[in-house]
Amino acid sequence: MNEDRVFLKVPAKPEYIMVIRLTTSAVASRAGFGVDEIEDIKVAVAEAGIVIMNQHKGTGNIDLSFKIIGDEGIRIHICASDVKEKIEPFIDNEQTELSFYIMESFMDGIEKKEENGYIRELIMYKKFGG
């Protein structure tokens, strides 16, 4: 089974969400997803980046890892990196609830990894044809 990986590190600033969206689109296209699926993946990954960015006020960067899994699909890890000492706790507000609703609607699987009450990483999975 062929497994390609792509890594991206961007500053945790709103102006870099477009870079996340464009990279996600390119990787999903290369993996073989259709136009509608690419749009779904792109929106879900951007929402994940926003959740991580808004929660971790002390985050320097957002790391993304895209793993294309042969003819199965794609797995995407989004996490905070270079976290400074001052971190805002995870706040489950209406915007965050909406973001998770969007992610869960567009992807086949979402996993949230928490550490000391903070979302440290989001892992998403999308199957081909799913």
> Any idea what the CATH number is for the domain that residue 37 is in?
3.30.565.10
Angle at alpha carbon of residue 81, lines to 75 and 85, rounded to 5° = 145
Q: What is the pLDDT of residue 36?
A: 95
**Average pLDDT of 25-53?**
94
Give 93-114 pLDDT, tens digit per residue: 677 788 889 999 999 999 998 8
Does the pLDDT of residue 34 top 70, yes or no?
Answer: yes
Does the pLDDT of residue 63 top 80, yes or no?
Answer: yes
Reduced to 3 states (helix: H, G, I; strand: E, B; else coil), residue 45 is helix
Please give the model's pTM, rounded to 2 decimal places: 0.86
Q: What is the pLDDT of residue 10?
A: 95
Alpha carbons 78 and 55: distance in angstroms, whole number: 13
97 CA to centre of own chain: 15
**Average pLDDT of 60-84?**
89
Q: What is the pLDDT of residue 30?
A: 93
Angle at alpha carbon of residue 127, lines to 26 and 80, rounded to 5° = 60
Q: What percent of the chain has pLDDT over 70?
A: 85
**Token pair in block for residue 23:** 């990279």
Question: Domain range holding 104?
Answer: 3-127
| Cβ-contact 44, 107 below 8 angstroms | yes
Q: What is the pLDDT of residue 49?
A: 92
130 CA to centre of own chain: 18
Counting the structural domains of the chain, the total is 1
Q: What is the pLDDT of residue 89?
A: 56
Does the pLDDT of residue 90 top 70, yes or no?
Answer: no
Q: What is the pLDDT of residue 124?
A: 96
